[in-house]
Amino acid sequence: MQAVGNMVAAGIIGSVTVGMVLGGLLAPAQLCAEPKKRQVDEITCEEFLALDPDGQQRIAYGVDGHQPVGALLEECKAAPRDTLWQKLKEQ
């Protein structure tokens, strides 16, 4: 009877260990998946151009309130290493 109890305990300990190992592997992936929040003066035009159109529109509207994205896209394509803030100040 004691042997059965030991096998059950070993099975539970094994399951918990596997769960902890898998949880430990997934935790760093979740941390990496969270997007970084950056200030507009740190975002380069290259990064801005890599965003999806909705993201570009949100940033342009959030910074200026009525910024036309088309003009900003063209200016960023011409100088991708400049910051987005530089381009917004020029307009």
What are the residue ranges spanned by the domains of the chain? 1-34, 45-90
Query: pTM value?
Result: 0.56
- pLDDT tens-digit map of 50-61: 999 998 888 877
- pLDDT tens-digit map of 30-48: 555 555 677 778 899 999 9
Contacts of 49 (CB under 8 A, 6+ apart): 56, 73, 76, 77, 80
